[in-house]
Amino acid sequence: MWFYRAMNGMNWPTRPDNGWVRIWELDSWRRVRDEPSLNEQPMYGELQDAIVLADHCDSSWFYAGEFSGTPRGLRVYLVDGLRPAKLVAESFTMFVNGVIADAAEIYLDEAG
């Protein structure tokens, strides 16, 4: 992934008024099944091997990447332990672009 060739995640999250999202350093990545607030959630059964790679607002919720056999590499889901996973990006590049743009689709739905 080009992002990690250029930098190893983000030391600090984006500013609160720009989403408060932090993309983690590689050594902080862990599987959903290894994140205590997510691992016992039956609604994430299909994502247990997905990689938690970012968070919002000091781990209020997480972003998990599911690696696939597609050319795009991985799909990114928002997971919070309270609701079903929400697909927020079809690729890591789309996710990073969403973070930079503070795009509404990378956040919880207004009703949720």
pLDDT tens-digit series, residues 5-35: 667 777 777 778 778 899 999 999 999 999 9
Global pTM value: 0.86
Residue 57 within a domain: yes
Residue 35 within a domain: yes
Cross-strand partners of 87 = 77
Residue 34 within a domain: yes
Residue 87 within a domain: yes
Q: Is the pLDDT of residue 80 over 70?
A: yes
In this prediction, residue 54 carries a pLDDT of 95
Residue 111 within a domain: no
62 Cβ contact list (under 8 Å, min separation 6): 35, 38, 52, 54, 55, 56, 78, 79, 80
- Helices (H), strands (E): how many in the chain? 2, 6
Report the number of distinct structural domains present in the chain: 1
In this prediction, residue 112 carries a pLDDT of 47
Q: Is the pLDDT of residue 100 over 80?
A: yes
Residue type, 36: P
Domain that holds residue 74: 2-106
Tell me the two tokens of residue 32: 């959903």
Residue 112 within a domain: no
